[in-house]
Amino acid sequence: MSTIKLFLCLLCLAYFSSNELYRRDLLIRILKHSQQKPSRFTITEIANNELGVKELTCHNDGARVEAYLSVVKLKKGAPWCAAFVSWVYQKAGFPKPRSGWSPDLFPRSRLARSALPGDVIGIYFPDLKRVAHVGIVISQKGDYIYTTEGNTTLQGGRDGDGVFRKVRHVRTIHSIADWYTERRVSK
């Protein structure tokens, strides 16, 4: 049975290697991590269970928002999109990421070429000259990535009042980070 699985994996890799690089990267990441627990879908399920959470007074406050902020040791009133991502990962059992600063969620070692469920997307704001909003990938359909994001609005602002589902075109996404895949440190 394992010989058949290996053969099918090699066949898939051969097929995808003739296609675009991002598809090969996507297949390798799926095959490599299909046996790990918790699954990527644990991350997306936790994020989706937060849909509808709203700030108490539209000033980055409220019991749930403050719970997100506490994971990254920020006080009530601080922007919380990155804290939301960190809270979701903590609930899923991951030690990282743990930052309330959006750019921290995109170290070079975590950057990915394609989006898988549970990955983190970063939106760049030219006026701030940095990634200033983040969300969690739920799925991708063609050129559109479906996300769950905290501290946003239905219209998609970066300083909103709740947790919402967003649909973003791939061209609007500056960075994708894979915090799911275990990184091995060389000695």
What's the confidence (pLDDT) of residue 24? 54
Same domain, 68 and 30: no
Same domain, 25 and 115: no
Same domain, 25 and 84: no
Strands (E), 65-171: 120-125, 130-141, 144-152, 162-169
Residues 6+ apart with CB under 8 A from 8: none
What's the confidence (pLDDT) of residue 20? 46
What's the CATH code of the domain at 79?
3.90.1720.10
Same domain, 49 and 70: yes
Is residue 7 predicted with pLDDT exceeding 60?
A: no
What's the confidence (pLDDT) of residue 21? 46
Task: Evaluate whether residue 184 is within a structural domain.
Answer: no
Same domain, 13 and 85: no
Same domain, 72 and 151: yes
Same domain, 14 and 70: no
Average pLDDT on 10-38 reads 54
Which structural domain, as residue segments, surrounds residue 71? 39-177
Same domain, 30 and 47: no
- Under the banding of pLDDT at 50, 70 and 90, the label for residue 38 is confident
pLDDT, tens only, 110-146? 999 999 999 999 999 999 999 999 999 999 999 999 9
- Give residue 97's identity as a one-letter amino acid code: P
What does pLDDT average to over the chain?
A: 86
Same domain, 111 and 92: yes
Average pLDDT on 87-114 reads 97
Task: Evaluate whether residue 171 is within a structural domain.
Answer: yes
Average pLDDT on 84-105 reads 97
pLDDT, tens only, 145-155? 999 999 999 88
Task: Evaluate whether residue 53 is within a structural domain.
Answer: yes
Closest CA to 159 of 136, 127, 134: 134
Same domain, 2 and 50: no
Task: Evaluate whether residue 91 is within a structural domain.
Answer: yes
Average pLDDT on 18-35 reads 53
- Under the banding of pLDDT at 50, 70 and 90, the label for residue 171 is very high
pTM for the full predicted model: 0.79
Tell me how crowded residue 23 is: count the other CB atoms within 10 A of its CB.
Answer: 15
* Spatial distance between the Cα atoms of 149 and 142, rounded to a whole number of angstroms: 20
Per the document, the length of the chain is 187
pLDDT, tens only, 56-88? 999 999 999 999 999 999 999 999 999 999 999
Same domain, 26 and 3: yes
Domain count of the fold of the chain? 2
DSSP helix/strand/coil, 162: strand
What's the confidence (pLDDT) of residue 26? 57
Helix axes 2-17, 21-33, angle to 10 degrees: 160
Task: Evaluate whether residue 182 is within a structural domain.
Answer: no
Same domain, 23 and 45: no
What's the confidence (pLDDT) of residue 166? 96
